[in-house]
Structure 1
Amino acid sequence: MSARAVTLWFIDTDTPVDVLRSGVTNDVDAAKKLASAIYGDSVLVPSVDTNLAAAMDSDDSQVYAGFYGPLTVVSCSLFATSKPSTLTRTVETIRTAASIPESAAAVLLYTEPESATGVFARWEGGTLRRSFAADPVSIIEDDGLPYPFEKPFWGGEHPLRYAPGVAPDPLALPFHPQQLAEQGNREWLGFRFTRPLAPSDLEPLTIPVTGFAIRPADYEPTEADDERYREASTTAAAATAAATAAAASAREQALQAEPAPEPRPVVDSPPEAPAPVPGDTPAVGIPIAEPIASAPVEGAGAVGTGAEGQDEPVVEAEVVDAEVVEPGVVEPGASRPGALEFGPRDAPGTAAVEDAVTAPVPSVSSNGVGGAGNVEAANVDQAGLPAEGEYVDESAGWTRRVARYFGFGADK
């Protein structure tokens, strides 16, 4: 299952990945100043020292911030928007109030598994250079010229994967927007939140942040607040250490696992006898992390590597013919409020494409993170998923709109 994430970074260095990889320490006072730039009319009370992955589970009563010299990050519900262009003035206000240099670029990431929405944006010199927001069947915002790392996505190298029995929709994007949004974060900062991570990815569990409780303007912090802060930080530190060690062990085992099987041919028509989908499968389309043969990571869920209780799909290397339930798919005929349906597939027995779309996670590349294309595409069947149950949207509808920009050819 994909991870929920909402972050705004200010980057005032040409080598942000190297800075994070070298190990960073959070300046709590500077982080509080950064958070206060957003909630200036409120009193911010430190509540916990934790990691960036855990901060993604925060609610509206918390704001998380980290200050690491040339890099700063803040996470709060204010940035959970599918219209990033509306944040331009807010970003500049935060920059000024927090004394962040004008030379620093601002980078936004927002992914929401429940709506299958992916959003990313980048500001340079106070100007919005690029913003993109979409769900699998509709583009909400698309401003500025695409970055080079977007080319494989628009070129169809990361196609959507559909639930068995659901035909591709001609209006669907040739990729999952959450996967594209996290690739932007990977290009600019060296990591993503959805697991499994690539060998070259940084571990978000190792990035420290401080959480601040948002209190009314007349609130007076007490000694009890300080005591709760110390206790919560001690507990979080132990959980972070355990989860980091477990994640490192899982990644090491993944590197030693057998190579993935060769991709099977993609077919254009629904299977004659699609595999049944369990009735309790979540009715929402999300990017699916390809399973890696390894032991489950103990303790990672407690620290917050995704939504609470979210388990990464893991397949034991020794298990043969085990039935693996594909997450993120829906039973034909299922629906949810607000789901988009098109044409004759409104008839009973057909699932809305927004609810049924899933996307593959690219195979792991040994290349570094800095350049575009560091993670290679691989359309590999998950264990237990029939080859004939995998579909790719062959429509040229969305790729045509950027074909000339990337030079794919006018005939496309």
Structure 2
Amino acid sequence: MPGQLGENAAIVTLWFVSASDPQSIIRSEPRADRGYGRKLLAQLNPAWPITPIGQFALNRSVPASENEFYIAGFPGITIIQTVLEDVTSLSKLSPRLLKSVPATDIYVFAVNEETTLGGFAHLVDGKVKRSFIAYEERVFEDDGIPSGFEAPYWAGKMGTRKTPLALPFNPIELVAEAQRAWLGFDLSTSPDINVVAYATDGRPEPKIAQPRLISSAEVTQAAVDKLRAREASDYDDYEQHEAPDRVVSQRMIGNAKKAAESAQRMGKSLWRAGREFGANMAEKLRHTDR
């Protein structure tokens, strides 16, 4: 779970967009390239110790925490999410960050749920077209002409007002509206937006346990043991029998034979699956940092 953010800190998500229809690209659910994010972070700060820590859907997970970056690079779209300490002016974010990816349009969204700090900005060819960020009771930046989607909120027709001295809306509500209007879709209901997560604080890469393949011998033994237990439960103490450990019925032999044959077939399938799994993993690792 993310830790508590500082007073003027926020989770900032930047969309670098050159594609004419971002929605169609997201709808195709492209897979994020692990190597792309690593190279982008190395460009931002060569001194950072970069550690991949996961791969998941941006819009189905908890947001980035301090010293973490969620990154995805798709055709015509790059997404970066991280935590910034002072975001009282979105138009004056680090030029290194804003220029890290060439794009026609850059959309910035900043949110701190704990303090109601919320903001959004749109830069076109590097110039600020609209930038707004505020608490419910304090506006830090309000540059450019408000977009059409903002009008109902400023008019008090949408959003919730906390006090008579507050804005007629919670700034975070307007951030969500800006995302829908500028990107062309609602993140909460869109297909998965796949990203790769990285840490820059030197933490080790999490270890993922590999599944153990069960051998055909183990399957055979389990089947035979199950059959023995079943035969023992069918033994009738009121009939005359030899000692149970000397009784070997033809039915049990036949069942054990069938179980062994089935296990042999299963063993071959598991061997092939294991071989394919190993080949796939080798291929993925070979392309990891491309």
Q: TM-score per shorter chain, which class? A: 0.5 to 0.7
Is residue 123 from structure 1 mapped to residue 111 from structure 2 by the alignment?
A: no
CA change 1:38–1:208 in 2 (3 A) is same
Shift of the 65–184 alpha-carbon distance from structure 1 to 2, 3 Å rule, reads: same
Find the counterpart in structure 1 of residue 197 from structure 2. Answer: 211
Q: Is the 8 A contact 1:7 1:79 kept in 2?
A: no
* Residues 35, 65 of structure 1: 8 Å contact kept: no
Rounded to whole Å, the distance in 2 between the matches of 1:20 and 1:209 is 12
**Structure 1 position 153, deviation (Å):** 1.4
The corresponding residue for 1:188 is: 182
Q: How does 1:266-285 map to 2 (within 5 A)?
A: none
Is contact 1:121–1:131 with CA below 8 Å preserved after alignment?
Answer: yes
Indicate if the aligned counterparts of 1:13 and 1:70 stay in contact, CA closer than 8 A.
yes
Q: Is the 8 A contact 1:91 1:106 kept in 2?
A: no
SS for the counterpart of 1:184 is helix
Q: Is the Cα contact below 8 Å between 1:46 and 1:229 reproduced in 2? A: no
Counterpart in 2 of 1:176?
170
Q: Distance in 1 between matches of 2:159 and 2:83?
A: 30
What is the rounded CA distance, in whole Å, between the counterparts of 1:191 and 1:5 in structure 2? 20
User: What corresponds to 2:79 in structure 1?
Assistant: 73
Q: Give the aligned CA root-mean-square deviation in angstroms.
A: 2.7
3-state SS of paired residue (1:94): coil
Q: Which has the larger strand fraction?
A: 2
Counterpart amino acid of residue 71 in structure 2: A
**Superposed CA offset, 1:142-198 (max 9, x none):** 011111111221222114255xxxxx41x32122211111111111224456xxx5x
Distance (whole Å) between structure 2 residues aligned to residue 192 and residue 112 of structure 1: 19
Partner of 2:150: 150
Deviations along 1:92-141, one digit per CA (max 9) or x if unpaired, are: 4312xxxx3xx421111111111111111111111111110011122111
Q: Do the aligned residues in 1 keep the contact of 2:118 with 2:135 (CA within 8 Å)?
A: yes
Give the secondary-structure state (helix, strand or coil) at the position aligned to 1:19: helix
Asked if residue 62 in structure 1 is aligned to residue 50 in structure 2, the reply is no
How has the CA–CA distance of structure 1 residues 213 and 55 changed in structure 2, closer, same or farther, with 3 Å as cutoff?
farther
Q: Which residue of 1 aligns with 2:21?
A: 15
Q: 1:26 to 1:74 in 2, by over 3 A?
A: same
Give the letter aligned to residue 96 of structure 2.
T
Query: Residue by residue, what CA displacement relative to the aligned partner does 1:245-283 show, whole Å, maximum 9, x if unpaired?
Result: xxxxxxxxxxxxxxxxxxxxxxxxxxxxxxxxxxxxxxx
Percent identity for Structure 1 against Structure 2? 26
Q: Which has the larger radius of gyration?
A: 2
Q: Deviations for 1:390-409, whole angstroms, at most 9, x for unmatched residues?
A: xxxxxxxxxxxxxxxxxxxx
Q: Is the 8 A contact 2:11 2:110 kept in 1?
A: yes
Are 2:58 and 1:35 equivalent residues in the alignment?
Answer: no
Q: Is the 8 A contact 1:26 1:67 kept in 2?
A: yes
Native 8 Å contact 2:132 2:142 kept in 1:
yes
Amino acid in the other structure paired with 2:130: R
Q: CA deviation at 1:43?
A: 2.5
The gaps in structure 2 that reach 5 residues or longer are 1-9, 212-290
Q: For the structure 1 residues 12 and 231, does the alpha-carbon distance in structure 2 shift closer, same or farther, using more than 3 Å as the test?
A: farther
Q: Quick one: distance in 1 between partners of 2:59 and 2:69? A: 14
Instruction: Measure, in 2, the Cα distance between the counterparts of 1:88 and 1:143.
Output: 18
- Residue 139 and residue 215 in structure 1: after superposition, are their counterparts in 2 closer, same or farther (change >3 A)? closer
The answer as to 2:95 corresponding to 1:107 is no
- Kindly provide the CA deviation profile for residues 21-62 of structure 1, in whole angstroms up to 9, marking residues without a partner as x: 122211221222223333332121212112213564332232
2: CA distance, partners of 1:35 / 1:55: 21
What amino acid maps onto 2:177 in structure 1? Q
TM superposition shift of 1:215: 4.4
What is the one-letter code of the residue matched to 2:158? Answer: H
Equivalence map 1:313-352=2 (5 Å): none
- Contact kept? 2:44, 2:97, Cα under 8 Å: no
Which amino acid in 2 is paired with 1:84? Answer: L
Residues 48/147 of structure 1: CA separation in 2 closer, same or farther (3 Å cut): same
Which residue of structure 2 lines up, in the alignment, with residue 84 of structure 1? 90
Whether the aligned pair in 1 keeps the contact of 2:19 and 2:75 (CA below 8 Å) is: no
Alignment check: 8 A CA contact 2:33 2:196 kept: no
Please state which structure has a larger fraction of its residues in helix: 2
- CA–CA separation in structure 1 for the residues paired with 2:195 and 2:86: 19
Alpha-carbon displacement from aligned partner over 1:220-267 (angstroms, at most 9, x marks no partner): xxxx74xx35459x9xxxxxxxxxxxxxxxxxxxxxxxxxxxxxxxxx
**Pair 83,231 (structure 1): closer, same or farther in 2 beyond 3 Å:** farther
- Distance, in Å, in 1 between the alignment partners of 2:56 and 2:86 is 21
Q: TM-score, normalised by structure 2?
A: 0.62
